[in-house]
Amino acid sequence: MKPFHRLISFNEAKKIIMENTKEMERVEKVNILNAVSRVLAENIVAPFDVPGFKRASMDGYAVMAKDTYNASLQNPKKLKVVGKIFAGEKAKIEIKEGECIQIATGAPLPKNADAVVIVEDTSKEGDYVNIYKPVYPGANVSLPDSDVKKGELILKKGELLTPPKIGVLASLGIEKVKVYEKPKVKIFPTGKEIVKLGEELDYGKIYDINSYTLATLLINEGAKPIINDIVEDDEEAIEEAIGRAIDADYIIFSGGSSIGEKDLLAKVIKKKGELLFHGIAVKPGKPTICGKIDSTLIFGMPGYPTSCLTNAYVLLLPSIKKMARLPFEIKKVKAKLAQNILSTIGRYQIYPVKVENGIAYPVFKESGAITSLSKANGYIEIPAEVEYLEEGMEVIVTLF
């Protein structure tokens, strides 16, 4: 074993990762049902007006506006009802002076009608309706281009697709749309102590935790992770794994990033590409690796579950978001510290906490305990020069 030659700062590590992260250029066409939370890769121009016809915006009676002039409660105008029309139907008759048609919201206006009297301003009397309030031409009527105008730029390339925007696409009859591909991430667990889920757990072994915490985090944040079989702590095995995964945007190894005699990932990256850094002055996650082979970013995450997932949140996730062209929103809240915290001088610390009712409760146990993060809903950042945080002091919590 040998010590790290140089630990870079946490901020320097973030800067290096982001400088080496390129925005996604590959695109794919997907059904709009699968397009929500994806980033649009084309401009959408309306091919026609929406709704495309004059329609009632309220339930009531389609009229010639001039037939309602001077109507009042004391002196209502009486019009003959010559039919009904509902949404989706087309009026087969037209109205003449002194006539009207009962109409539902969304139904197209019949010929000669130019306004709708809302039902609340009327009363039915046999085949006639009493109009108690006058309307002007266009009252309670949506025009053919009231929602979308033909030729209008509706959605811009680079926009994040949300349910309302999916609705706009549907209104234009667009079933499939071009979006940027999700970053492809291939995950490799390493180490003889790791056991695949479903297999028998012998003494001294642990199940593969990191592949599942990483994969589910990445799925939730706009990437496409693929969990691979466990890789042995062997230089040839690591090279072979990278060779199989080099078509991915990211390759992540969990474990095998420390300085033990079997930690060979840094050596392989140097051999095949560029080692961007190995070792960060941060706790947890000191042995984190970042490198690049061709255009593929390679991360060596610590084997301990809390270290691995913490670094994924603070270092990997911003890079994934940038590549996916997704917004990266950092939510922070102020809270009072529930108890004293001792830190490590010289190492920037990411400390998981649980915030309840404005109080931040430390939940960190040790780097190997996944429950440290399962109970946390955020973390505080402790600068490298700070050794002690006092109970009751105000801290800034970054929420997961």
What domains are defined for the chain? 10-26+181-324 (3.40.980.10), 28-49+151-180 (3.90.105.10), 55-142 (2.170.190.11), 332-399 (2.40.340.10)
Q: Which two tokens stand for residue 250?
A: 């990211």
What is the structure's pLDDT at 261? 47
Alpha helices in the chain (DSSP H): 10-19, 163-171, 210-220, 235-245, 265-272, 305-311, 317-324, 371-374
Residue 303's beta-bridge partner residues? none
Q: In what order do the strands lie in the sheet with 289-293?
A: 224-227, 184-189, 250-254, 296-301, 289-293, 274-278
What is the C-alpha separation between 282 and 348, in angstroms, rounded? 4
Q: Which two tokens stand for residue 52?
A: 């495309």
Using 50 as the pLDDT threshold, list the residues of the chain that sit under it.
Answer: 1, 261
What is the C-alpha separation between 339 and 142, in angstroms, rounded? 61
What is the C-alpha separation between 100 and 18, in angstroms, rounded? 66
Q: Please write the tens of the pLDDT for every residue from 60-81.
A: 999 999 999 999 999 999 999 9
Q: What angle do CA 193, 194, 195 make, to 5 degrees?
A: 120
Q: Please write the tens of the pLDDT for every residue from 20-61.
A: 999 999 999 999 999 999 999 999 999 999 889 999 999 999
Q: Which two tokens stand for residue 391?
A: 């109970």
What is the structure's pLDDT at 259? 55
Report DSSP state, residue 193. Answer: T
What is the C-alpha separation between 376 and 65, in angstroms, rounded? 64
CB distance 328 to 321 below 8 Å: yes
Q: How many helices (H) and strands (E) does the chain have?
A: 8, 28
What is the C-alpha separation between 57 and 144, in angstroms, rounded? 12
What is the structure's pLDDT at 1? 45
The pTM of the whole model exceeds 0.75: yes
Place of tokens 């087309």: 90
What is the structure's pLDDT at 367? 59
